[in-house]
Copies of this chain bind each other. A is one copy, B any other.
Amino acid sequence: MTRIENSKRTILNLAESLLQDKGFNGFSYAHISSELGVKNAAIHYHFPSKEDLGIAVIRRYRERFKLWINNSRVKDLTPEAKLDWFLGIYTNMRADQGKVCLVGAMEAEFNAIPDGLRDEVQGMHKELLVWLQSTLEEGRDGGVFAFKGEPADKAALILSTLQGALQMARALGTKKFHNVIEQIKLDLLK
């Protein structure tokens, strides 16, 4: 990996972390550059505008997620194990400095972020939903999940719940977050 790819990667890591910590309007190039030990002009070299940076963070996450779900380590799991893997992503965010999910953070500020970033967030949210829906279908067909209504709606509910629960945990603590995770399972598993 070349030096520039390394710089870009480090910047994206910091930006992703800051987005999940403070939101799009809560962080600045100065946060990144000082942490990285460079001047803010260096960040602008890699990502000319803040919108570019935000888009790149979401785009990278989408590609990462696609790789995960198409990898046999996830693809070949049972529906129940897939669900646990997915819930684990959110549990890890909570454990990692009380971060919230990217989609939730950006949608909360949706009317105060650039257009191009909105489109990217929309695409990410759709992809998460599609995967979760198909997992729910698989699990219901296999007899391990039980729920009324359509898999698409149950998927939207669970995703909304996770998004909200990570935010709730910031005010009410990690214990409450874990209680919600358990409740999701109670409402889904046979």
Contacts and interface: CB of A to CB of B under 8 A. Distances in A.
Given A152-B179, A187-B148, A111 B164 contact: no
Contact of A179 (B153, B167, B170, B182): B153
A161 interface: yes
Chain copies in the assembly?
A: 2
Interface in A61-88: none
A86 to B, nearest CB: 15
Interface in A14-36: 21-23, 25-27
A100 interface: yes
A171 interface: yes
Interface stretch (A5-13, A43-51, A120-128, A137-145): A120-128
13 contacts: A23-B23, A23-B109, A25-B26, A100-B107, A100-B108, A103-B168, A104-B164, A129-B172, A149-B183, A149-B186, A159-B168, A161-B161, A161-B164
Interface of A: 21-23, 25-27, 98, 100, 103-105, 107-112, 118, 121-122, 125-126, 129, 147-150, 152-154, 156-157, 159-165, 167-168, 170-172, 176, 179-180, 182-184, 186-187
Q: What 3 pairs across the A-B complex have the smallest Cβ distances? A: A26-B112, A160-B164, A108-B108
